Amino acid sequence: MRINLIQMDVRNAEPHLNRKHAEELMRLSDKADVYILPEMFATGFVLSPVGIAEDMADGSCVSLEWMKAMASELDAAVAGSLSVRVGDKLFHNRFCFVRPDGKCTFYDKRHLFAYGGEQHCYTAGMERGVAEFRGVRFLLQICYDLRFPVFSRNRADKPYDAIIYVANWPASRQEAWLSLMRARAIENQCYVCAVNRVGSDSVCRYSGGTQMVDPYGNIVASCPVWQEGCASAYVDMDGLAAFRRKFPVLEDADGFLMY
């Protein structure tokens, strides 16, 4: 399976322009099975979602319909998070994994970024999200989730083969971003597909650092820092299965029995 990681700049609260720009970058990249966009790719990281978050009370919204259209046209899954309103005063930072047939898997960000006040305007999700597509199981995660290894642990009740992290991760903490994604890949014997934005908003500068890491901790694809672009690599399911059989670390994990 080929994965395209789309590292892009995001204009604040201009979803039409951001969707158009994301579409341009996706079309410029080579054909893939999965296209991954950053966290809140349609609006930027908004901490005042009233009037900006998309209304998803009926189960859909403009950006989600755009994702469905792109997935159908490209015959691929499209993934990224959106700022959505699902009730009168209920907002989520919602990961949307959209398949070509329009079926979606959603995950609402569990670990809200209290340092930045995210918990005051969004409601945390409580359930993990695992999306299966073309024989690969993806754990869906958003930005700050990267710092919490227990929540993302590869478990027998919901095993996975790859983690997708979408983020607006500041340049000032770039080394933590790079180190933690390798740790998550190694400890869970999985691929990590981590997509960060570039550019700046009123609070932070974002240098990117978009990468794909294999189960050994090797970086197999990356985007240049501070630049928009696409990184592309393959998930080798046969190789992953062979590695897990040969070196069954997960069988020794607390509470985990994989085989």
For residue 259, is it within any domain? no
CATH label of the domain that carries residue 38: 3.60.110.10
- Per the CB < 8 A criterion, the answer to whether 151 and 106 are in contact is no
* pLDDT confidence bin for 253, thresholds 50/70/90: confident
Q: Render the burial of 11-35: b for 16+ CB within 10 Å, e for the rest.
A: eebebeebbebbeebbeebeebbbb
Provide the pLDDT for residue 255: 62
Set 109, 118, 193, 228: catalytic member: 109
What gap in Å lies between CA 237 and CA 229, rounded to an integer?
26
- Per the CB < 8 A criterion, the answer to whether 236 and 161 are in contact is no
For residue 187, is it within any domain? yes
Q: Which residues contact 81 (CB under 8 A, 6 or more apart)?
A: 38, 39, 40, 41, 93, 94, 95, 96, 109, 142, 166
- Per the CB < 8 A criterion, the answer to whether 71 and 98 are in contact is yes
The 3-state DSSP composition of the chain as helix, strand, coil percent (nearest 5) reads 25, 30, 40
Q: Would the pLDDT of 156 be above 50?
A: yes
For residue 253, is it within any domain? no
For residue 256, is it within any domain? no
Domain that holds residue 131: 2-248
Whether this prediction's pTM lies above 0.85 is answered by yes
For the stretch 37-69, pLDDT in tens is: 999 999 999 999 999 999 999 999 999 999 999
For residue 77, is it within any domain? yes
Q: List the structure tokens of 149.
A: 């290894």
Provide the pLDDT for residue 51: 96
Set 143, 190, 193, 223: catalytic member: 143
What gap in Å lies between CA 2 and CA 190, rounded to an integer?
15
What gap in Å lies between CA 162 and CA 145, rounded to an integer?
15
Q: Which residues contact 57 (CB under 8 A, 6 or more apart)?
A: 85, 86, 87
**Number of domains, the chain:** 1
Q: Would the pLDDT of 257 be above 60?
A: no
Provide the pLDDT for residue 254: 80
For residue 206, is it within any domain? yes
For the stretch 88-134, pLDDT in tens is: 889 999 999 999 999 999 999 999 999 999 999 999 999 999 999 99
Q: Are strands 129-133 and 90-98 parallel, antiparallel or unpaired?
A: unpaired
- Nearest one of 52, 65, 143 to 91, comparing CA atoms: 52
Task: Tell me whether residue 143 is one of the annotated catalytic residues.
Answer: yes
For residue 255, is it within any domain? no
For residue 131, is it within any domain? yes
Provide the pLDDT for residue 157: 85
Find the mean pLDDT for residues 3-22. 98
